[in-house]
Chain A
Amino acid sequence: DTGVSQDPRHKITKRGQNVTFRCDPISEHNRLYWYRQTLGQGPEFLTYFQNEAQLEKSRLLSDRFSAERPKGSFSTLEIQRTEQGDSAMYLCASSLRGEGSGANVLTFGAGSRLTVL
């Protein structure tokens, strides 16, 4: 297993177009996260899944954003009608979360950079 994989690494699109990003987590991890990071800022939480269930979505996530994780394996993040403000790095992370209160250690992918012209 080579870690968390994201595709594509860089996407350039025109305003108004739809884009989709894919994330393949570490195979034994049951949780999958999407974060957004803009230049000079830390990662900002968007949403996360435990297996196939989407457990939390950020209030900042507009209805143009949708994420899925069919069968609890890979995940896709789709952005419809892209705007210039959507330009950012979209980071995927995964973790293995069991019972108890242990630290939730996230392993990140290299990210998918979106540029909206």
Chain B
Amino acid sequence: QKEVEQDPGPLSVPEGAIVSLNCTYSNSAFQYFMWYRQYSRKGPELLMYTYSSGNKEDGRFTAQVDKSSKYISLFIRDSQPSDSATYLCAMGSSNTGKLIFGQGTTLQVKP
């Protein structure tokens, strides 16, 4: 079993839809949770990160963490065609220097 599981999709939605992306994890030592966005043939870029359970909002993006269920989500409101990309969840802790990534979910927002 992988430490971080993420549904690869692909996910196709119409412009303006609310998108929900999810990851589950097995390692309870993870302390911080990140979402990266990766466009084709580019490196991943950080969208947002959070430490604790609960919600964190940044513009059209909301990150949600439920540590009791080992489940994290990223919500995108009013999705735009420019949001079409692969979304990667990543997790880490102070005990380790590395981030562990999920498989990535490919999102396509159709105009």
Contact = CB atoms under 8 A, between A and B. Distances in A.
Given A42-B6, A110-B42, A56 B34 contact: no
Interface string B92-107: 1010111111111000
A101 interface: yes
B97 A103 contact: no
Contact of B97 (A97, A107, A111, A113): A97
A111 B98 contact: no
B65 to A, nearest CB: 12
Interface in B13-46: 31-32, 34, 36, 41-46
Interface string A27-52: 00001010100001111110010100
B61 to A, nearest CB: 16
Interface in B69-111: 88, 90, 92, 94, 96-104
A77 interface: no
Nearest to B95: A101
A9 to B, nearest CB: 9
Nearest to A106: B99
A74 interface: no
Nearest to A42: B101
Interface of A: 4, 31, 33, 35, 40-45, 48, 50, 55-56, 91, 93, 97, 100-101, 103-111, 113
29 contacts: A31-B97, A35-B101, A40-B104, A41-B103, A42-B101, A42-B102, A42-B103, A43-B44, A43-B88, A43-B101, A44-B101, A45-B98, A45-B100, A48-B98, A56-B96, A91-B43, A97-B97, A100-B94, A103-B51, A103-B92, A104-B32, A104-B99, A105-B46, A106-B46, A106-B90, A108-B36, A108-B43, A109-B43, A111-B43
